[in-house]
Amino acid sequence: MTQPPRHPSPAETPERRPWSLRSQIAVVFGSLVTLVAVLLSLAFGELLKWRIQKEAAASLHMVAHNAAKVLAEGLFEPSRLVQVLGASQDLWEKGMDAPEVLPLLQRMHSSRPYSRWIGVADVHGNVATDTNNILQGKNVSDLPWFQAGLKDVYVGDVHTFMALADRLAPSSSGEPQRFLDFSAPIYRNGETLGVLGLHLSWDWARDTLEALRPTYADHAQIELFVFDHTGEIIYAPDGRIAPYAALGQKLPQTEQPSASGRDSMTTPGLAGLAQWKDAKPPFLTAVTRLPARNLASDLGWYVVVRQPTATAFVGADTAVAQALAGGVGAALLAAVIASLAARRLSEDLNSLSRAALHIEAGTPGAVVPQTHSTREVQRLSRTLDNMTRRLLHMNEAMEEVVRQRTLELQHANQELERQASSDPLTGLLNRRGFDARLVTAVALAQRSGRALSVITIDVDHFKRVNDTYGHGVGDNVLRTLAQQFKARLRASDAVARLGGEEFIILLPDTPPHTALEMAEELLVSVASHARDVVGNITISAGVSALRPDDENGSAMLRRSDAALYAAKTAGRNRAVAQV
- Whether residue 37 is found in the same domain as residue 166: no
Q: How far apart, in whole angstroms, are the C-alpha atoms of residue 325 and residue 391?
A: 11
Q: List the one residue out of 484, 411, 471, 457 whose CA is nearest residue 565.
A: 457
- 192 backbone φψ class: left, alpha, beta (φ>0; ψ -120 to 50): beta
Question: Does 4 reside within a domain?
Answer: no
Per-residue pLDDT of the chain (579 residues; tens, 9 = 90+): 455 555 555 545 555 666 655 566 667 767 777 777 777 777 776 777 778 778 878 888 888 899 899 999 989 999 999 999 999 888 888 888 888 888 988 888 888 888 888 999 999 999 999 988 888 889 999 999 999 999 999 999 998 887 777 777 777 666 778 889 999 999 988 899 999 999 998 888 888 888 888 888 888 889 999 999 999 998 998 878 888 989 999 999 887 555 444 333 334 446 788 889 888 888 989 999 999 888 888 999 999 999 898 887 776 667 667 767 777 777 677 666 666 555 556 666 667 667 777 776 767 766 767 666 666 667 777 777 777 777 767 766 777 766 776 676 666 556 556 556 789 999 899 999 999 999 999 999 999 999 999 999 999 999 999 999 999 899 999 999 999 999 989 989 999 998 889 999 999 999 999 999 999 999 999 999 888 788 889 999 999 999 999 999 999 999 999 999 999 999 999 999 998
- Give the other-Cβ count within 10 Å of 240's Cβ: 14
- Whether residue 298 is found in the same domain as residue 362: no
The domain boundary, picked from 362, 392, 417, lies at 417
Give me the sign of the Cα torsion angle 528, 531, 534, 538. Answer: negative
Residue 521 vs residues 488, 515, 534: alpha-carbon distances, Å? 9, 10, 21
Question: Does 423 reside within a domain?
Answer: no
Residue 99 maps to which CATH number?
3.30.450.20
Question: Does 13 reside within a domain?
Answer: no
- Whether residue 435 is found in the same domain as residue 542: yes
pLDDT of residue 187: 92
Helices (H), 421-511: 431-448, 462-469, 471-488
Question: Does 422 reside within a domain?
Answer: no
- Whether residue 191 is found in the same domain as residue 220: no
Q: How far apart, in whole angstroms, are the C-alpha atoms of residue 539 and residue 573?
A: 5
pLDDT of residue 174: 66
The domain boundary, picked from 129, 160, 195, lies at 195
- Whether residue 459 is found in the same domain as residue 573: yes
Question: Does 188 reside within a domain?
Answer: yes
Residue 493 maps to which CATH number?
3.30.70.270
The domain boundary, picked from 167, 195, 223, lies at 195
- Whether residue 179 is found in the same domain as residue 216: no
Read off the DSSP letter of residue 373.
S
- Whether residue 443 is found in the same domain as residue 504: yes
Residue positions annotated with a catalytic role:
501
- Whether residue 292 is found in the same domain as residue 324: no
- Range(s) of the domain holding residue 265: 206-312
Question: Does 73 reside within a domain?
Answer: no
In total, how many domains does the chain have? 4
Q: How far apart, in whole angstroms, are the C-alpha atoms of residue 554 and residue 438?
A: 10
Beta bridge partners, 535, equal 531
- Whether residue 279 is found in the same domain as residue 334: no
pLDDT of residue 544: 96
Question: Does 14 reside within a domain?
Answer: no
- Whether residue 294 is found in the same domain as residue 159: no
Beta strands (DSSP E) in 34-144 are 115-122, 127-130
- Whether residue 191 is found in the same domain as residue 233: no
Contact, 86 vs 99, CB < 8 A?
no
- Whether residue 177 is found in the same domain as residue 229: no
Question: Does 453 reside within a domain?
Answer: yes
pLDDT of residue 262: 38
